[in-house]
A and B are shown apart, each in its own frame.
Chain A
Amino acid sequence: MDQIILQILNGLDKGSAYALIALGLTLIFGTLGVVNFAHGALFMMGAFVSVTVSKVLTISHKVVDESRTDFLGNPLEVDVPYLYDFFGQAAGDVIIDWAVPISILVAIPIMIAIGFIMERGLIKHFYKRPHADQILVTFGLAIVLQEVIKYFYGANPIPTPAPEAFTGSFDFGVAFGFDPNAIIYPYWRLVYFFFSLIVIGAVFAFLQFTTFGMVVRAGMADRETVGLLGIDIDKRFTIMFGIAAAVAGLAGVMYVPINPPNYHMGMDFLVLSFVVVVVGGMGSLPGAVAAGFLLGILESFASMSAVINVLPGINQIIIYLVAIIILLTRPRGLMGRKGVMEE
């Protein structure tokens, strides 16, 4: 039993990342009908916003520290972050420590802006072209973004730690009445899970309870009719693209402490999140979220040593296997609507 709970928990953080990326992909696909192969790159850009913010916060200048001397008796020069000058040492340390959560505030406008630029500058011209062209041009864009990041940040993963308060692990075992140390789980992964729930909740609430969201949902169902009603659907779709980019970016920002970001993390997640979208059902938002968590958890079950001993390597192919089986038995995906992209 404790094993099962442990695996479910283990799957949650991967599942959260899958769900968030797939949610954005589905928003773009459902509203604009564009297959965005650059979505993984947006995830990566989010992660590097986080890296950049934590680097910017520690920009420092040299100050002569009279209280400390080197072995010759000369006073030492110490690096002092500019933040100390503005907020004092204690507050400055806290801000540097909380760089990753603070990045969220920076990431939202930046990612929305990137989304706007992408949609207006490139994607807009591809609405009427075949899906193959959309895949190809966004694939090219993904390569370009990836190389730009590689040029500025190098090819090595950049470790960016979570705030001090979230290091360490939470002992679920005690909370549920199992042995201590049976189920321990890093705090940051919990934070990531709850963060993803909040983002997903916010997106759903936005679509469900605002007039804007209502129009967009109507546009997803029947774009032409909404346009005929005199609504400028294009503008709304641009905004939706910005939101989708922000969702992917936020998933990246908060993912940084779990896995140090590198320039090809976008491509690594992209294929899997497409598989997630297809399993959930193209164009279905709840489907994308549900499939994201489901496949994340399934993956962690498949990597249990008991399972691997029986079926070696199953942990690496389980998602593809599930996707192939689902596509062949239920082509519209778990929660897909009938008629969307069914040929």
Chain B
Amino acid sequence: MFGLEKKDARLLIIVIGLTMLAPFILNPFPEGSEMAQFNAGYPDLMQRFVIFGILAIGFNILFGLTGYLSFGHAAFLGVGSYAAVWMFKLLSMNVLPAIVLSVAIAGLFSLIIGYVSLRRSGIYFSILTLAFAQMSYALAYSVLTPLTGGETGLQPKATDPRVLDGALAPGETATPSLFGFAMRDSYELTMGSWIFTFNFGYYFAAIVMILAFYVSIRIFRSPFGMMLRAIKSNQTRMSYTGLNAKPYTLAAFVISGMYAGLAGGLLVAMDPQAGAERMFWTASGEIVLMTILGGAGTLIGPVLGAGFIKYFENIVSKINKSTLEQWFYWMPDGIEDVMIAIVYPFVGKGWHLTLGLLFMLVVIFLPGGLVQGGQKIAGMFRRKKTQDAKDGATTPAE
């Protein structure tokens, strides 16, 4: 199906199913119940899941497949979002041209940075990309203020020309739309005490993500992907066979940069503003975390990692002391206080600590990320099952 092998097609169908039914799946608890804060089915968060999923899919093509650890991918995300806002300002609030431009600009930008950075490899490459990204951040923050809005950031204004749309009517705010359907339009479905939100912007982003995922499967399974894998495993040997790795790595870099630009454009399409802090190097670190956490080099891993981190960021960070008191209220007084004291540093504002610890544990014990963890668990069950079968077979009949 779609030119995919059976296994990949099944994965793609699972991903399509998950993304399309996300408003149901992510909303397992009824509204108003104690567990309702674990619901992630609101549009803002669902959009983040798929958009950062795209980002991680793209990063995985560079890091997971080719083995080049870039610490500067947030720069492409930032460039993509600036480009999209400019398209909104100049041409039209339609998201399609904005996204096309952000992909194109991010591609160009990554071509330049990649051309220079890829002259080195290993840590030098990491540090070069880091330096370029920090430089772009500093430029966006100060020098390029007319282009980027500097500290205040960039957003569409009522006074913008918008050649295709024409100026806004007084009192109207600029909302990104796709041929008249506004991105923020939602339909709420109430079933009993559950409320499911279907958001147009989310579905748009989800379809883009499915396309991006499909393209990444095709890249993984193509001869080009095979070449990238070969570069990862042993570049020296590749060059001895007379093959120039540079065009391949550069292509991988530009592709992943374009994915990041696409994510940046989509972010702006959902919420039309762009700021420089999106480009700071710790934001690049977060992209790396997503990919590693999920499992670098696997197809589905980065998407899982992105979802996991964004879920934690938005849900765990909301837990505060009174929530914890509610959780542990059934315990005896002394133990309750101890439990709260133990858990409190890891939730709410301290969720970064959980993230850092989790990340260290993954790098140390599960270099293959969540996907490897899942496989290990699955493997354990499978082995048990086969062992049982064997035991049954060898038991002599009396």
Residues on A with beta carbons closer than 8 Å to the beta carbon of B350: 147, 150-151
A312–B116 alpha-carbon span in the complex (Å): 24
Any chain B CB within 8 A of the CB of A317? yes
Any chain B CB within 8 A of the CB of A90? no
Any chain A CB within 8 A of the CB of B207? no
Any chain A CB within 8 A of the CB of B143? yes
Residues on B with beta carbons closer than 8 Å to the beta carbon of A341: 122-124
Check B120–A327 contact: CB distance below 8 A: yes
A321–B139 alpha-carbon span in the complex (Å): 12
Residues on A with beta carbons closer than 8 Å to the beta carbon of B356: 140-144, 146-147
A141-163 at interface with B (beta carbon < 8 Å): 141-144, 146-148, 150-151
A304–B346 alpha-carbon span in the complex (Å): 44
Q: Which of B127, B139, B282, B364 contacts A278 (CB 8 A)?
A: B127
CB-based nearest B residue for A272: B134
Q: Please report whether the interface of chain A is mostly helix, strand, loop or mixed according to DSSP.
A: helix
Any chain A CB within 8 A of the CB of B387? no
Size of B's binding interface in residues, CB under 8 A: 41
- The answer to whether residues A139 and B285 also contact, given A147-B353, A147-B356, A312-B142 and a CB cut-off of 8 A, is yes
Check A313–B139 contact: CB distance below 8 A: yes
Any chain A CB within 8 A of the CB of B288? yes
Q: Please report whether the interface of chain B is mostly helix, strand, loop or mixed according to DSSP.
A: helix
A324–B126 alpha-carbon span in the complex (Å): 12
Check B135–A320 contact: CB distance below 8 A: yes
A178 to chain B, nearest CB (A): 32
A150 to chain B, nearest CB (A): 8
Check A316–B128 contact: CB distance below 8 A: no
- The answer to whether residues A144 and B360 also contact, given A131-B122, A133-B367, A341-B123 and a CB cut-off of 8 A, is yes
Residues on B with beta carbons closer than 8 Å to the beta carbon of A229: none
Check A321–B120 contact: CB distance below 8 A: no
A314 to chain B, nearest CB (A): 8
B291-314 at interface with A (beta carbon < 8 Å): 292
CB-based nearest B residue for A312: B143
Residues on A with beta carbons closer than 8 Å to the beta carbon of B142: 312-313, 316
A23–B235 alpha-carbon span in the complex (Å): 31
- Residue with the greatest number of chain A CB neighbours at <10 A, chosen from B127, B130, B352: B127
Q: Which of A136, A143, A274, A324 contacts B292 (CB 8 A)?
A: A136
Check A328–B132 contact: CB distance below 8 A: no
Check A275–B126 contact: CB distance below 8 A: no
A50-92 at interface with B (beta carbon < 8 Å): none
Any chain A CB within 8 A of the CB of B15? no
A274–B127 alpha-carbon span in the complex (Å): 7
A11-57 at interface with B (beta carbon < 8 Å): 35
- The answer to whether residues A317 and B138 also contact, given A271-B281, A275-B127, A343-B122 and a CB cut-off of 8 A, is yes
Can you name 25 A-B pairs with beta carbons within 8 Å?
Answer: A125-B364, A132-B69, A132-B126, A133-B367, A135-B126, A136-B359, A140-B360, A144-B360, A147-B350, A147-B356, A148-B353, A271-B130, A271-B131, A274-B127, A316-B139, A316-B141, A320-B131, A320-B135, A320-B138, A324-B128, A327-B120, A327-B128, A331-B120, A341-B122, A343-B235
Q: Closest 6 CB pairs between A and B? A: A313-B143, A143-B356, A147-B353, A140-B360, A316-B138, A144-B356
* Interface positions of A (Cβ within 8 A of B): 35, 122, 125, 131-133, 135-137, 139-144, 146-148, 150-151, 267, 271, 274-275, 278, 282, 312-313, 316-317, 320-321, 323-324, 327-328, 331, 341, 343
